[in-house]
Amino acid sequence: MIVITSNTTPEEQIADIVRVIEKEGLQASVSKGADRTVIGLIGQVNPQLAEHLRQMKGVENVVKITKSYKLASRDFHPENTVIKIKGVEIGGDELVVMGGPCAVESPEQIDEIAGLVKAAGGQVLRGGAFKPRTGPYSFQGIGVEGLIMMAEAGQKHGLLTITEVMTPEYVDICAEYADILQVGTRNMQNFDLLRKLGTCGKPVLLKRGFSATYDELLNAAEYILAGGNPDVMLCERGIRTFESYTRNTLDLSAIPVLQQLSHLPVISDPSHGTGRRELVEPMSKASVAAGANGLIIEMHTDPDNSMTGDGVQSLFPDQFAALLKDLEKLAPLVGRTFSTSKAPAEAFKVGV
């Protein structure tokens, strides 16, 4: 249920409404927009409370939200959420590109790739330190050492960093070194992990499970939001279908649908979404045309010899740079801004 007030309602009246809600043992979450303020009620609301709230000063309407997810719903938060990290805004007009290898392999490798991502115009360096793999004997990542390598490369080249976190126990250490924490497709419904991420204080990129519906993805996001973390991004990374030519089927319709249902930024992953290098470029452009707020793209200097064996979906550096040049031309056509000329590395040093 949400309580709607106008943007001219005095703060004292909003505070009175919140007190009445919390007195009933419910959680009140206030979202202020340009035209109205929405107060979300989290918990079981009785009809008497709803009627009482409807009669209070400053209240324009009380509306029941039938969706199972509340905080992630656009009904609760009509305006787009914009996540601000060290001068980069995700969810606004700017197109954000995250690029890098599937896994951190060495200091030299991640440093070189970070320089290439920066030179091409990317804003975020991606790389896995802990790798969830289908087989137990596959390369699993180099752990905390990899986190440190990536953090150093990101600081040196003026890039934000994103890495995947696999278990609740690793949230704190990943949050210490990375700017954004990623939840992979296999962990989308790892509810203990999602609850922990609700308290981590770092933005979260939540990937859609490979067999998950939109509602299931948004309910997973609700776990993080309900824990007190408002900075959640939704990621479409392809779903499993009967088609075997591509690794997955990139669901482009998810981008506008999720933006209709939710206020959270939507990121597209054309690398995992297709699993084929030659399809990453067209599906990146299609994702931007569909309205994506950003892209997360695999790029490697020697993809055919990558330690994860996922090189078939990784772009070469020149392909990555050429794609970003094309995105610079495409972005304005769909109401986005994007420039391959970025801020100096000094702006991203620790403590800035």
Residue 87 tokens read as 């001068």
Of the candidates 254, 253, 246, 232, the residue with the CA atom closest to the CA atom of residue 90 = 232
pLDDT of residue 311: 79
Q: Domain boundaries in the chain?
A: 1-61, 72-345
Residue 182 tokens read as 């990623």
CA distance 213 to 248: 15
Give the residue ranges of DSSP H helices in 98-142. Answer: 107-120
Q: What is the mean pLDDT of each run of 10 residues along the chain (352 residues)?
A: 86 92 88 81 84 90 85 90 96 97 92 96 93 53 88 96 95 96 96 96 97 97 93 97 94 98 98 96 98 97 77 93 96 94 52 36
The size of the chain, in residues, is 352
Question: Residue 204: beta bridge partners?
Answer: 181, 232
Of the candidates 288, 226, 231, 283, the residue with the CA atom closest to the CA atom of residue 256 = 288
User: For residues 238 and 248, is the Cβ–Cβ distance under 8 A?
Assistant: yes
pLDDT of residue 134: 55
pLDDT of residue 137: 42
pLDDT of residue 182: 97
pTM of the predicted protein model: 0.87
Place of tokens 């609740």: 168
- Each residue's pLDDT tens digit, 39-89: 888 888 888 898 999 999 889 888 888 788 989 999 888 899 999 999 999
Question: Residue 128: beta bridge partners?
Answer: 103
**58: helix, coil or strand?**
coil
Residue 197 tokens read as 């991420």
Q: What number does CATH give the domain 1-61?
A: 3.30.70.1140
User: What fold does the segment set 72-345 form as a domain?
Assistant: TIM Barrel (3.20.20)
